[in-house]
Amino acid sequence: MGAQSIPLPRPTEVSAPFWAGCARGQLLVQRCAACGWYVFVPEPCCTRCTSFELEWVESLGQGTVYSFSVVWRPQQPAFDTPYIAVIVELAEGWKTLTNLVECDPSEVYVDMPVEVTFRRMSDEITLPYFRPQTKQVRKQS
Residues in the chain: 141
* Bond before 70 cis per omega within 30 degrees: no
The residue count for binding Zn ion (CB under 5 A) is 8
- Figure out which of the listed residues 20, 34, 70, 71 binds Zn ion, where binding follows CB under 5 A: 34
Instruction: Note whether 46 binds Zn ion by CB under 5 A.
Output: yes
Listed in sequence order, the DSSP H helices in 1-141 are: 16-23
Strand partners, 132: 114
Q: How far is the CB of 37 from Zn ion (least distance, A)?
A: 5
Strand partners, 56: 30
Instruction: Note whether 41 binds Zn ion by CB under 5 A.
Output: no
Residues forming the site for Zn ion (CB under 5 A):
32, 34-35, 37, 46, 48-49, 51
